[in-house]
């Protein structure tokens, strides 16, 4: 992907030139413009690749449909027309979900301020507030820089006031999740504002809602990320310790898993979050003491045909295996057998095999000599198959 950027206006002018000067049809004009800019190393991921309508009679250029919808929404907000605002929020949300380019174009044209005003105007009307939050979540997806301090306060206040409402809680957490992904400052601001107890509290309060548990767990995990390249040093480790020590995060997550023994997507998300919280030796041991290892092993056995789930479980096992005592517990729970079985089962899928399985096996085998001998013998058999098929990169244990 190229590193150069162009404005939407530049792309639209190139398309229009292809139509007027070279008499191309609209679809061909767009394809030609895309090829032209990509050959120059231009990144078009944020560009709407569609044809605008020709200029109107008064000479005013027409806009892309996402901007027309945004104008309609802005007018409804300015006129305090709640019925029209509700309709336009739904349309705008659907269009934003289509692709990042639509969200980016809307964001560059004041979408956040319009949607935020809609959220304020919808205060007191639950259904309208839900639609406004859905639109806010759609706008923030991939654009966390748009959120300001007023938006942060609104989201935190909503989670506090609507903690018993599962739908409102879910909508608010989704907004926070998008706002914190790849944005360290937003993460720090939300943590300072008290979001961690709100997230763990949501899991406890709505422990029977798969969507709330999965999304809140994902939001907790994102608070432990260090993915903002603009920041040299993040607070990922500190946030992980706060989740565990101040908010009893490990117990909350493991207890939540007991309600979803047959829901692999929720359990996979919980495993992914537990792996991010295993940052200290005592945390790893606490996960085992609370029964976390048992549900990981059971999940691995039950969902061994699902590579995405296997990857998350093995990542969690690898994380907790940083504690030497936990290595013994993994072996005693039958984890090593399942690790080797998972490697063998997913030979055609390098993701769980190359990223998680060998590392988990290596972690477990360090301090258990009898098992290590057996494990290495089995791994040699598996690796022989990899080598025979030319997958040497998977054999670096």
Whether 69 and 95 have beta carbons less than 8 Å apart is answered as yes
Interval 12-23 mean pLDDT: 91
pLDDT in tens, 72-119: 999 999 999 999 999 999 999 999 999 999 999 999 999 999 999 999
Q: Say what the pLDDT of residue 343 is.
A: 85
Q: How far is CA 154 from CA 113, 129, 147, 165, in A?
A: 13, 12, 11, 16
pLDDT in tens, 338-383: 998 988 888 777 665 444 443 444 555 444 434 444 344 444 444 5
Instruction: Give the Cα separation of 74 and 68 in Å (integer).
Output: 10
Residue 395 has pLDDT above 50, yes or no: no
- Report helix, strand or coil for 318: helix
State the CB neighbour count (10 A cutoff) for residue 1: 8
Task: Please provide the DSSP assignment of 247-265 as one string.
Answer: T-HHHHHHHHHGGGTT-HH
Q: For the chain, what is the mean pLDDT? A: 88
Long-range contact list for 383-389, CB < 8 A, 24+ apart? 385/344, 385/347, 386/347, 389/347
- Phi first, then psi, for residue 171 (nearest 5°) are -65, -40
Interval 202-210 mean pLDDT: 97
pLDDT in tens, 107-151: 999 999 999 999 999 999 999 999 999 999 999 999 999 999 999
State the CB neighbour count (10 A cutoff) for residue 299: 24
CA angle at 99 for the pair 96 and 102, rounded to the nearest 5°: 55
Longest dimension (CA), the chain: 84
Check the CA dihedral 344-346-352-354 and report its sign.
positive
Identify the CA nearest to 138 among candidates 171, 103, 87.
Answer: 103
Whether 365 and 340 have beta carbons less than 8 Å apart is answered as no
Identify the CA nearest to 272 among candidates 200, 331, 219.
Answer: 219
Residue 394 has pLDDT above 70, yes or no: no
Q: Say what the pLDDT of residue 183 is.
A: 98
- Report helix, strand or coil for 225: coil
Interval 30-54 mean pLDDT: 90
| Helix-, strand-, coil-residue percentages of the chain, each rounded to 5 | 75, 0, 25
pLDDT in tens, 293-313: 999 999 999 999 988 899 999
Q: Say what the pLDDT of residue 123 is.
A: 92
Whether 175 and 133 have beta carbons less than 8 Å apart is answered as yes
Instruction: Give the Cα separation of 14 and 46 in Å (integer).
Output: 16
Burial of 276 (0-12, 13-18, 19+ CB in 10 A): buried
Count CA atoms closer than 13 A to 40's CA, side-chain side: 10
Buried b (16+ CB within 10 A) or exposed e, 131-164: bbbbbbbbbbbbbbebbeeebbebbbebbeebbe
Instruction: Give the Cα separation of 127 and 203 in Å (integer).
Output: 22
Whether 75 and 117 have beta carbons less than 8 Å apart is answered as no
Contacts of residue 127, defined as CB under 8 A and 6 or more positions apart, other chains included, come to 86
* pTM, full prediction: 0.87
Instruction: Give the Cα separation of 296 and 275 in Å (integer).
Output: 11
- Phi first, then psi, for residue 42 (nearest 5°) are -90, 135
């Amino acid at each position: 992907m190229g590193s150069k950027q162009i404005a939407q206006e530049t792309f639209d002018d190139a398309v229009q030139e292809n139509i007027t000067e070279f008499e191309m049809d609209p679809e061909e004009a767009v394809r030609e413009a895309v090829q032209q800019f990509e050959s120059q190393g231009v990144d078009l991921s944020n560009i709407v690749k569609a044809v605008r309508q020709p200029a109107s009679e008064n000479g005013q250029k027409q806009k892309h449909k996402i901007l027309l919808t945004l104008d309609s929404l802005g007018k409804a907000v300015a006129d305090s027309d709640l019925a029209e605002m509700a309709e336009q929020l739904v349309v705008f949300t659907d269009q934003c979900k289509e692709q990042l380019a639509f969200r980016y174009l809307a964001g560059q044209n004041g979408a956040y301020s319009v949607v935020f005003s809609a959220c304020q105007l919808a205060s007191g009307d639950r259904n309208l507030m839900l639609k406004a939050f859905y639109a806010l979540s759609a706008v923030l997806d991939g654009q966390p820089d748009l959120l300001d301090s007023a938006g942060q306060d609104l989201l935190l206040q909503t989670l506090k006031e609507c903690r018993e409402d599962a739908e409102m809680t879910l909508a608010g957490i989704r907004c926070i999740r998008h706002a914190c992904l790849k944005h360290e400052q937003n993460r720090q601001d939300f943590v300072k504002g008290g979001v961690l107890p709100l997230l763990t509290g949501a899991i406890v309060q709505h422990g029977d809602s798969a969507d709330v548990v999965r999304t809140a767990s994902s939001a907790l995990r994102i608070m432990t990320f260090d993915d903002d390249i603009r920041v040299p040093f993040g607070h990922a480790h500190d946030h992980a310790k706060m989740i565990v020590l101040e908010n009893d995060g490990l117990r909350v997550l493991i207890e939540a898993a007991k309600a979803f023994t047959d829901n692999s997507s929720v359990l996979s998300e919980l495993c992914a979050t537990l792996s991010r919280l295993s940052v200290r030796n005592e945390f790893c041991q606490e996960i085992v003491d609370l029964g976390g290892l048992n549900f990981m092993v059971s999940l691995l056995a039950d969902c061994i045909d699902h590579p995405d789930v296997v990857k998350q479980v093995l990542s969690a096992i690898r994380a907790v295996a940083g504690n030497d005592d936990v290595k013994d517990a993994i072996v005693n729970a039958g984890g090593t057998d399942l690790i080797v079985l998972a490697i063998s089962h997913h030979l055609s899928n390098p993701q769980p095999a190359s990223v998680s399985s060998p590392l988990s096996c290596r972690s477990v085998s360090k301090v258990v000599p009898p098992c290590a001998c057996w494990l290495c013998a089995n791994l040699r058999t598996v690796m022989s198959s990899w080598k025979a098929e030319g997958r040497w990169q998977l054999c670096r244990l």
